[in-house]
Amino acid sequence: MKARMEDGKVSDIRAVWFDNGKCVMIDQRELPAAIKIVSFGTHTEVAEAIRNMTTRGAPCIGASAAYGMCLAALNKVDIDKAAADIKAARPTAYDLFYAVDWMLAKLKAGEDPVKAADSYADSIVDKCKAIGRYGNELIRDGMTLMTHCNAGALATVDVGTALAPMRAAHDSGKKIFVYASETRPRLQGMQLTAWELNQEGIDHAIIPDGASAYYMSKGVDMIIVGADRIAANGDFANKIGTFDKAIVAKRFGIPFYVAAPVSTFDFNTRTGSDIVIEQRAETEVTEISGIRIAPVGSKALNPAFDVTPAELVTGFITEKGVFAPSEIGSMKE
Ligand code: MRU
């Protein structure tokens, strides 16, 4: 991804990579104010970085987890124990579990830990590029698009899932406009998606989450979101607020696409009601920058994700092509 660094130079950086025996990543909690790079030398530190959202977004969580497994192997930690530690970091994003199991198999087959983790991260980027190509075919010049949360390069090592078709459309000379909903309470839409769109020079506006229906009623041509876990029947979990958008899109006849690599499809989970939804701390809702803004005595609920039923999905944009919810079984690896 393009990022203007502190010295003013534009660099091409990834969200997570491996360097000099360490897992290195952008601390996504510091954006857009600062591009802070942090590095970790143990799998438990990487698990904590996933838990506290230094790194986030399903495919990027997967790549970070792969590097965590790599560190466990290099540090001669029991890899089954490390796998359990890393899997306990967050419950919803399927890529976390997919990546840890993928690494376990490679390590048990005697593969070099760094090469295996690097190839996992590289393969995500290649998949995102393919998602960009397939998604770009759906975008026409002059379209107004909407997305939610951050399913960009930060969420996927590089390129993005939902943002990949937008990047590809922009790079191929199409003029597009993107509404990025702010995504309370962690503000990934405002702080991360808008940051990425800015770096790429893609015309956009941040909108409050509650303004989505208003702008859809004024004219949105297509919605593209990412996913954290897609069940075998096409129901999918994504950032809280996605479900609302899908319902409103149906009301206005707006095509609603989900962009995700095959590593986000959990064919062992039958329907969306079987997906575990992470509940995060109340303080993410009641406080801003550590200062309580809610009345003392009020409690808050903070589900990180919701489940959108397959019937509201126009199609899944994957590295293997675009599939209707009824067709996703054919993707099974
Ligand atoms: O809690 P987060 O920031 O990890 O949630 C991220 C999302 O919900 C993204 O939309 C999803 O992971 C898709 S990322 C390509």
- pTM, two decimal places: 0.97
Are 310 and 273 in contact by the 8 Å Cβ rule? The answer is no
| pLDDT at residue 2 is higher than 90 | no
The phi-psi region of residue 149 (left if phi > 0; otherwise alpha if psi is between -120 and 50; otherwise beta) is left
Which two tokens mark 171? 């790079």
pLDDT band at 331 (very low <50, low <70, confident <90, very high): confident
pLDDT band at 11 (very low <50, low <70, confident <90, very high): confident
Question: How high is the pLDDT of residue 5?
Answer: 85
Ligand 1 centroid distance, CA of 66 (Å): 17
* Residues 174, 177, 182, 183, CA torsion sign: negative
Residues 6+ apart with CB under 8 A from 2: 10, 11, 12, 199, 200
Alpha-carbon distance 29 to 174, whole Å? 32
Q: For 106-128, how does the pLDDT look when each residue is reduced to its tens digit (9 = 90+)?
A: 999 999 999 999 999 999 999 99
| pLDDT at residue 333 is higher than 80 | no
Which two tokens mark 165? 């078709």
> What amino acid positions are annotated as catalytic residues?
228
Task: Indicate if ligand 1 lies below 6 Å from the C-beta of 57.
Answer: yes
- Closest ligand 1 atom to residue 95 Cα is 12
Instruction: Give, for ligand 1, the residue of 92, 131, 238, 318 to mutate: max count of ligand atoms closer than 8 Å to Cβ.
Output: 238
Question: How high is the pLDDT of residue 205?
Answer: 98
| pLDDT at residue 130 is higher than 90 | yes
Question: How high is the pLDDT of residue 7?
Answer: 84
Alpha-carbon distance 124 to 117, whole Å? 11
More confident position, 12 or 185: 185
Instruction: Give, for ligand 1, the residue of 16, 131, 150 to mutate: max count of ligand atoms closer than 8 Å to Cβ.
Output: 150
Instruction: Give, for ligand 1, the residue of 1, 26, 55, 56 to mutate: max count of ligand atoms closer than 8 Å to Cβ.
Output: 56
Alpha-carbon distance 153 to 160, whole Å? 4
- Mean pLDDT in residue range 81-110: 98
Q: What is the mean pLDDT of the chain?
A: 97
Ligand 1 centroid distance, CA of 196 (Å): 15
| pLDDT at residue 4 is higher than 80 | yes
- Mean pLDDT in residue range 61-89: 98
Task: Indicate if ligand 1 lies below 6 Å from the C-beta of 153.
Answer: no
Task: Indicate if ligand 1 lies below 6 Å from the C-beta of 238.
Answer: yes
For 199-268, give the DSSP string. Answer: HHT--EEEE-GGGHHHHHHHH--EEEE--SEEETTS-EEEETTHHHHHHHHHHHT--EEEE--GGGEETT
Nearest one of 37, 25, 21, 124 to 73, comparing CA atoms: 21
Ligand 1 centroid distance, CA of 89 (Å): 14
- Mean pLDDT in residue range 289-309: 97
Task: Indicate if ligand 1 lies below 6 Å from the C-beta of 226.
Answer: yes
Alpha-carbon distance 55 to 28, whole Å? 6
Question: How high is the pLDDT of residue 273?
Answer: 98
Task: Indicate if ligand 1 lies below 6 Å from the C-beta of 156.
Answer: yes
Are 177 and 166 in contact by the 8 Å Cβ rule? The answer is no
Which two tokens mark 213? 């229906």
Query: How many Cβ atoms from other residues are within 10 Å of residue 210's Cβ?
Result: 12
Alpha-carbon distance 60 to 56, whole Å? 6
Question: How high is the pLDDT of residue 332?
Answer: 82
Q: For 137-180, how does the pLDDT look when each residue is reduced to its tens digit (9 = 90+)?
A: 999 999 999 999 999 999 999 999 999 999 999 999 999 999 99
User: Hey, whose CA ends up nearest to atom 15 of ligand 1?
Assistant: 151
| pLDDT at residue 88 is higher than 90 | yes
pLDDT band at 252 (very low <50, low <70, confident <90, very high): very high
Pairing of strands 177-181, 144-148: parallel
User: Hey, whose CA ends up nearest to atom 5 of ligand 1?
Assistant: 57
Q: Residue written as tokens 């009601």?
A: 273
Are 65 and 18 in contact by the 8 Å Cβ rule? The answer is no
**pLDDT over 70, % of the chain:** 100
Ligand 1 centroid distance, CA of 90 (Å): 12
Task: Indicate if ligand 1 lies below 6 Å from the C-beta of 188.
Answer: yes
Ligand 1 centroid distance, CA of 151 (Å): 6
Q: Residue written as tokens 């600062």?
A: 34
Question: How high is the pLDDT of residue 22?
Answer: 98
- Mean pLDDT in residue range 311-329: 97
Ligand 1 centroid distance, CA of 213 (Å): 21
Question: How high is the pLDDT of residue 6?
Answer: 79
More confident position, 4 or 153: 153
